[in-house]
Amino acid sequence: MDESSFILGVDLDGVVGDFYGAMRKIAAEWLDKPLDTLPEEVSYGLDEWNIDESGGYDRLHRFAVTQRNLFRDMQPIKDAPAVLRKLSTRGIRIRIITHRLFLKYSHKTSITQTVDWLDSYDIPYWDLCFMADKGAVGAHVYIDDAPSNVERLRAQGCRTIVFSNSTNRDLPGPRADNWLEVERLVLEALEEWRTGTVDLFEGMDVNKSV
């Protein structure tokens, strides 16, 4: 690995891709309910949609990926692809880190859809890591939306930006409400790293790779 590179660890679902918007449409079909009966403001696990009575989150997620091509067809969050391209041109190494392989027997589908989606929106990346323990692969700064991921990364000493949505309102900052704010925070961190005004390496091994 080029040890001179500044690494940005990027989650996909709910950060780059509009996971909750896509899942809401699929869930309305799966539950056979009008779309407007499913709240847009949800907590992690989608309890507000009463999916347990129809088989639960894992069953809905499997249907969404294997039958409705969730990871291939979801829309990107506004400005995400453009900002990632801009950050990449600044010499930032984009490391995609996602836990999309948590469902058994659909790994090939999940990986293929992910790569096709990234390519279709011209999203740049050096590394694509399918990992539950995101801190294990290393980055100077992470961006994630899942409360459990943010808390785990910060407990490991990883500098982590929260990408705001209804699942993480209670988490402390730093946070970004949109990708223009992500760009600003990442460029600030890049400048600090270059000038040595803050130790971004503390508590993490940025050179560790899968």
Residues tagged active-site: 11, 13
**Rounded distance between C-alpha atoms, residue 152 and residue 150, angstroms:** 6
Length of the chain: 210
Q: Give the sign of the dihedral formed by CA 70, CA 102, CA 117, CA 111.
A: negative
Tokens matching residue 27:
């869930």
Report the chain's C-alpha Rg in angstroms.
17
Tokens matching residue 42:
């949800």
Q: What is the DSSP letter of 78?
A: T
